[in-house]
Amino acid sequence: MSYYSFYKSYQAIYPNDLHLKYELWYFFNKYHVITKIISYLQKSGKKHVHMCDIGGGYGYDDLLIRKIADDMVLDVTIDVDVIDPTSDFYNTVHHLSDSDIAKQKAINYREESFVHANLSKDYEKYDIVICCEVIEHLWTSEQEVFFANFNRILKKWWFIALSCPNGSTIFKGLFGIYTWLQKKNEIFEAEFHYRYSHIGVPTVFQVLGLFQRKWLQVQSIDPTALVSSTKISFITVLCNMLLFIFKYLNLFLSTDLVYTAIKTHSLDEYKRYNQKEIVLDNDAKVTLQI
């Protein structure tokens, strides 16, 4: 898919009052995540897929995937579940107005925490799992729960697309330490402690380790942007692409990352393991059957 065609669809779907719409790094995150999903849909030949968007807000990413699939005349039906703790958070933080897709019934919106959700009916239910710019807002122990739950809900040989800031960069690493020390911007939501700051920005190696421990095989890692812009245009996209010859160096300077991984084992093969109890940083306990 060309950047121009994606850019047009992106501008059409995302509302103007979503301030991240005009950030270059955000555009590239979405480009890498969504084009990979579309590519998998094309290769699979499936006529129906079930997708879960973790922390997906109102589901703009999912609407964009549907639009692109329709524009490309892909013969596939995409059912979407969004699991997110609260819709009010998006109104407060992103200053949205009259943009609640959940209320428009365009997607199936489940207002609950993915850390504490009862997923017993969701075992190996989904073909695709998306989780964009979410795990960096969690404590390390909560990230462990997330990756364990990814394994539970994803079908064998299907994939997850995940994006997050790169903790390997010096700048974001220092920012993560600063926000952890300051312990500011606390927002309490739907049963678990959530901070709107990069409190747990993972490094490349941490994310790879989390994937591998949960029986998911990483397929690719894509740096998304060298610079951030307050005003995105198609010209800025083209100019930024000229800098991608430095993308591997950029992994350790300043960038966000998109990971895709395939689930390589069936959940049933691992039910012989005992329950695992994880104690979260707020002293809450989560018991996993994995």
Domain boundaries, the chain: 3-288
Return the DSSP state at 166: -
**Domain covering 3-288, topology:** Rossmann fold (3.40.50)
pLDDT of amino acid 190: 31
Measured CA distances, 67 to 25, 140, 148, 256 (Å): 21, 35, 31, 25
The backbone torsions φ and ψ at residue 62, rounded to the nearest 5 degrees and listed phi first, read -70, -40
* CA 47/CA 189 separation, integer angstroms: 37
pTM of the model: 0.83
pLDDT tens track for 133-158:
888 888 778 888 888 889 889 999 89
Residues of the chain with pLDDT under 50: 185-196, 272-274, 290
pLDDT tens track for 201-220:
788 888 988 887 778 899 99
